[in-house]
Amino acid sequence: MELYAERGFDSTTVVEIAGRAGLTERTFFRYFADKREVLFWGAKELEASLVAQVEAGPGGPPLGVVVGAFVHAADFFEGRREQARQRQAVIASSPELRERELIKLASLGAALADALRRRGVTEPGATLAAEAGLAVFRVAFERWVGGAGDQPLAKLLEDTADRLADLTSERV
């Protein structure tokens, strides 16, 4: 993150990243396919954790199950707010990284919808609940990295889900 902040994403090389981390370039590539993946290192683990929580979590409305999985995973992020802010700034600075972030989120949404289907949620409910839950996460996460009075991410997730519920009960 420091290198990306100092030099910019495009100007930072794998050799520099590896050197800063005390690794060889070859060792770097054992862990990451490319320098973009440094920013997404925990995505697969987070996805697996969320899917497991959706599959094994308590009953209730599908959207509540998905939001509950994100609330359960919020502890993963606590204590990493500054790193998350830096990461978001790097991603925001690059169209390539914004695109990669959207691809990762789309994959997560599909995995959550699959988990809901395994729970017996039919379509279009599974996809709607997964995508709406993902939207709750994105909005809450942006508020969390943006400051939001230093509230915990879990609280922001719950507040954002409540606001979505308010919006969906309003007539258009």
Q: Where do the domains of the chain lie, and which CATH numbers do they carry?
A: 1-35 (1.10.10), 42-169 (1.10.357.10)
At residue 42, the pLDDT reads 85
DSSP state for residue 121 in the 8-state scheme: P
At residue 167, the pLDDT reads 92
Q: Rounded to whole angstroms, how far apart are CA atoms 147 and 35?
A: 28
At residue 1, the pLDDT reads 83
At residue 148, the pLDDT reads 66
Per-residue pLDDT at 172 exceeds 60: no
| Full-model pTM | 0.89
pLDDT in tens, 101-153: 999 999 999 999 999 999 999 999 999 999 999 999 999 999 999 876 689 99
